């Protein structure tokens, strides 16, 4: 990324079910309506991208991101809209393409898709897939999706779904569909993303950003070896912005603690604590939490270190209230984004 003015700054949310100002949990329906309002504000403050994750568990309200994004498309003008991520392994590539081509039409070409294998596995039994096929499902479906992007009749065969013979898929897009693959940090995933000629979106949710430089370098080498032109590299990391560091830390901690401990009980993690949180918001951690100045400096360092084209901050933090998230979005767009560009320039 040589030109700071071309850097894309975006936001991601998983549609975390939040608490209101009185401490009561909101309904899933209210949470989803709030996500649409958050996308509208992100557009108003000039951000590049708004991503909505797909989950099928009680902590997250959004299981059909494209429908939420279509609602946002009707109320926004400039911002690009996509997923963070679409769990392709437990979905059908044809249906995924059709849904995003439709979103692209209603948004006047602002749709993007970030494909992933899914770090949560609830969708596999829910839709009748065997976790033993985890790798094969993604490999085959990614191959089919790559063929569908050409928007010409497709012939394909595999073992994870019925084959296709000169099958045409509709609607057609006007200018193609921008596609990324979300990668957690394995060399095989990076090389596969390059092989298909998709953008690389690194999910950095732990540790310092600089340790991912090896994957960025591998991606660029792989693109060259597969004969592809330069393609974008992005990062998705959690964060929260408030007027001061202390305010941001105090607001965000409760949500991070709740989410880490809920998932940690399932995966055998130790209990989350304030000491670990303070490390995570520091220079060697993956949380971008603080004042606009603090968050901007950390984002600029990450962009510079990894040569990024996009940085997406996951602004939803467990049960953090809608009002605090809206203030975070406002500060991210009006304060953090200009500071990042100034620091990079």
Write out pLDDT tens, residues 227-261.
999 999 999 999 999 999 999 999 999 999 999 99
What residues form DSSP beta bridges with 16?
60
Question: Is the per-residue pLDDT at 212 higher than 90?
Answer: yes
CA-angle at 110, arms to 105 and 115, nearest 5°: 100
- How confident is the prediction for the chain on average, in pLDDT? 96
Band (185; pLDDT cuts 50, 70, 90): confident
Mean pLDDT of 85-100: 98
The tokens of 332 are what? 């991210």
pLDDT at 119: 78
Mean pLDDT of 337-345: 97
Question: Is the per-residue pLDDT at 2 higher than 80?
Answer: no
pLDDT at 118: 78
pTM of this structure = 0.97
Band (43; pLDDT cuts 50, 70, 90): very high
Band (1; pLDDT cuts 50, 70, 90): low
Share of the chain above pLDDT 70, in %: 99
Mean pLDDT of 316-322: 94
- The helix (H) or strand (E) run that includes residue 112 is strand 112-116
The tokens of 233 are what? 């590299």
Q: Are 237 and 204 in contact (CB under 8 A)?
A: yes
pLDDT at 319: 93
Sequence-distant (6+) residues with CB within 8 A of 1 are 7, 303, 307, 308, 309
Sequence-distant (6+) residues with CB within 8 A of 49 are 8, 9, 10, 11, 79, 80, 81, 82, 112, 310, 312
Topology of the domain comprising 4-344: TIM Barrel (3.20.20)
Band (50; pLDDT cuts 50, 70, 90): very high
Q: Are 136 and 129 in contact (CB under 8 A)?
A: no
Domain spans of the chain, in order of start? 4-344
Mean pLDDT of 10-27: 95
Distance (Å, whole) CA 62 – CA 214: 33
Mean pLDDT of 116-139: 93
Question: Is the per-residue pLDDT at 22 higher than 60?
Answer: yes
pLDDT at 96: 98
The tokens of 177 are what? 């569909």
Question: Is the per-residue pLDDT at 336 higher than 90?
Answer: yes
């Amino acid at each position: 990324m040589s030109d700071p003015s071309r850097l894309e700054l975006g936001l991601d949310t998983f549609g975390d079910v939040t608490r209101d100002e009185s401490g009561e949990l909101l309904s899933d329906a209210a949470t989803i309506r709030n996500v649409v309002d958050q996308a509208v504000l992100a557009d108003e403050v000039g951000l590049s991208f708004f991503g909505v994750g797909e989950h099928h568990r009680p902590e997250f309200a959004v299981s059909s991101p494209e429908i939420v994004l279509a609602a946002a498309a009707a109320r926004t003008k400039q911002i690009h809209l996509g997923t963070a991520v679409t769990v392709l392994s437990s979905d059908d590539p044809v249906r995924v393409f059709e849904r995003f081509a439709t979103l692209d039409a209603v948004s006047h070409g602002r749709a993007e898709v970030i494909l992933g294998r899914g770090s949560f596995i609830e969708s596999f039994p829910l839709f009748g897939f065997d976790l033993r096929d985890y790798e094969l499902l993604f490999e085959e479906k990614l191959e089919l999706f790559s063929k569908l992007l050409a928007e010409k009749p497709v012939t394909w065969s595999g073992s994870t779904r019925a084959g296709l013979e000169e099958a045409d898929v509709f609607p057609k897009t006007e200018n193609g569909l921008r596609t990324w693959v979300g990668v957690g940090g394995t060399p095989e995933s990076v090389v596969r993303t390059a092989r298909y000629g998709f953008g690389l979106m690194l999910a950095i949710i732990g540790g310092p950003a600089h340790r991912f430089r090896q994957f960025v370098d591998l991606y660029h080498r792989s693109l060259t070896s597969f004969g592809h032109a330069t393609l974008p590299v992005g990062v998705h990391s959690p964060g929260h912005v408030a007027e001061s560091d202390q305010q941001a830390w105090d607001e965000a901690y409760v949500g991070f603690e709740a989410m880490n401990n809920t998932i940690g009980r399932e995966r055998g993690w130790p209990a989350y604590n304030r000491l670990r949180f303070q490390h995570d918001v520091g220079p060697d951690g993956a949380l971008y939490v603080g004042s606009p100045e603090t968050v901007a400096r950390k984002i600029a360092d990450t962009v510079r270190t990894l040569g990024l084209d996009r940085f997406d901050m996951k602004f939803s933090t467990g049960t953090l209230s809608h009002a605090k998230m809206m203030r975070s979005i406002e500060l991210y767009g009006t304060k953090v984004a200009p500071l990042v560009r100034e620091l990079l320039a």
